[in-house]
Structure 1
Amino acid sequence: MDDGDCGAGNVAKPKRADARRNKESLLDAAGAIFVTSGVEAPVRDIAAKAGVGTATIYRHFPTRADLVIAVYRHQVEACAEAGPALLETEPTPHAALGRWIDLFVDFLVTKHGLAEALRSDHAGFDTLHAYFLDRLVPVCARLLDAAARAGEIRADLDAYELMRGVGNLCIGAAQDPRYDARRLVGLLIAGLRRPD
């Protein structure tokens, strides 16, 4: 390989990194708009928040379903990546579990309109629930195991059951301002502690 090839390779990598960051910024913007306006929000609003033209959105995501799926997957990945990071930064595994569950609750409560979209006939939606479980149940299990090994919580807790219980506590929270799902989930997580 000559120097010209090497130089061309170096130029291509930053462009790919920039494109990846731009796509992630677009997904973050779309996710924020979906929270406030639902998944049927105008593409021009998403483009304005992301600081791009609508053509850029359509280039990455030709249909609204493509965009919704990508936002959902992006947010699942962010939640999955947060678990190990919290174990490194929080003072105790139980604290890391509590912070991660807070993120999980935010993820569930802010899925304004997503449930309806997921019930559509679009084939891409079929695998999202399995993807959600495949990515997040092991993260929750790792947090539970760490807290159990530290002697902070009972050792017989199942990650899927806990996530299902948290999910059930979050149902309808976005539509009822008197219902504080985060408070109830906080009580649930506090109740996991082993008695002194």
Structure 2
Amino acid sequence: MNTDAPRPLRADARRNRDKILTAAVRVFTEEGLDAHLERIAKVAGVGSATLYRNFPTRDALIEAAYRNEVAQLCDAVPGLLAAKPPFEALRAWTRLFLDYVTAKLGMAEALRAIAATGENPYGHSREMIEAATTALMDACAAAGTIRTDISPSDLFAALAGIALTSARPAQREQAERLLDLTLDGLAARS
């Protein structure tokens, strides 16, 4: 029997962990690196001991919150494709991408601090996001709704550029217009 494998979390422990991660993204986005972990625990509706049991250090919490955001962004693709026509799924996902970058910008200082210690909080995030983009673009191409001369890397670069220049909450309307402009340029010509 392998005792090194982590035990699965109980349902209530998993819910608490998810609430902490959601609260961490919100609080770090609003308050930056100086956010107090006790505030995150309060926003999550859990005690400080629960927060520290799940995330013994600030860096562990920041890294887990970031990785959770990437996973949620990428995991949304199958559900969007099941619920919407491919091009509308792609459009909806670009809004989720913008939300993800907004959260990432709020945590940027903290993520840089972790990277400075030699850890890589980003892991495989770029590959995961490009795989999600590829799945969406493949579905759109199969439906004949997008041009096929644009690669997922090209779209990722365009989305990243929009998000990095217009990801602040006050710029949301502009960012959405730029996303629509990009998607209009990606649409198949009749």
Answer whether TM exceeds 0.5 for this pair.
yes
Kindly indicate whether residue 18 of structure 2 is the aligned counterpart of residue 24 of structure 1. yes
Change beyond 3 A, Cα 1:178–1:27: closer
Secondary structure of the 1:111 match is helix
Contact 1:26 1:50 in 2 (8 A): yes
Kindly indicate whether residue 122 of structure 2 is the aligned counterpart of residue 123 of structure 1. no
Contact 2:98 2:163 in 1 (8 A): yes
- Tell me the TM-score normalized by structure 1: 0.84
Q: Which amino acid aligns with 1:95?
A: E
Change beyond 3 A, Cα 1:110–1:145: same
Partner in structure 2 of residue 104 of structure 1: 97
The whole-number CA distance in structure 2 between the counterparts of 1:96 and 1:112 is 24
- Tell me the TM-score normalized by structure 2: 0.86
Q: Deviations over 1:21-65 (max 9, x none)?
A: 211111111112122222331112111111111121112111111
Secondary structure of the 2:34 match is coil
Partner in structure 2 of residue 133 of structure 1: 126
- Alignment coverage as a number of residue pairs: 181
Partner in structure 1 of residue 69 of structure 2: 75
Ranges in structure 1 where 5+ consecutive residues have no aligned partner = 1-11
Secondary structure of the 1:169 match is helix
Aligned-residue CA RMSD (Å): 2.1
Kindly indicate whether residue 53 of structure 2 is the aligned counterpart of residue 86 of structure 1. no
Q: Could you say which structure has the larger radius of gyration?
A: 1
Ranges in structure 2 where 5+ consecutive residues have no aligned partner = 1-6
The whole-number CA distance in structure 1 between the counterparts of 2:108 and 2:183 is 25
Partner in structure 1 of residue 88 of structure 2: 95
Contact 1:154 1:194 in 2 (8 A): yes
Cα displacement (A) at 1:111: 2.2
Structure 1 stretches of at least 4 aligned residues deviating more than 3 Å after TM superposition:
174-179
Contact 1:144 1:157 in 2 (8 A): no
Cα displacement (A) at 1:191: 1.8
The whole-number CA distance in structure 2 between the counterparts of 1:123 and 1:46 is 25
Secondary structure of the 1:152 match is coil
Q: Deviations over 1:69-101 (max 9, x none)?
A: 0000111111111011100001x1000011011
> Identity rate of aligned residues, in percent?
37
Pairing 1:154-193 to 2, within 5 Å after superposition: 154-174=147-167, 177=170, 180-193=174-187
The whole-number CA distance in structure 2 between the counterparts of 1:28 and 1:178 is 22
Change beyond 3 A, Cα 1:97–1:176: closer
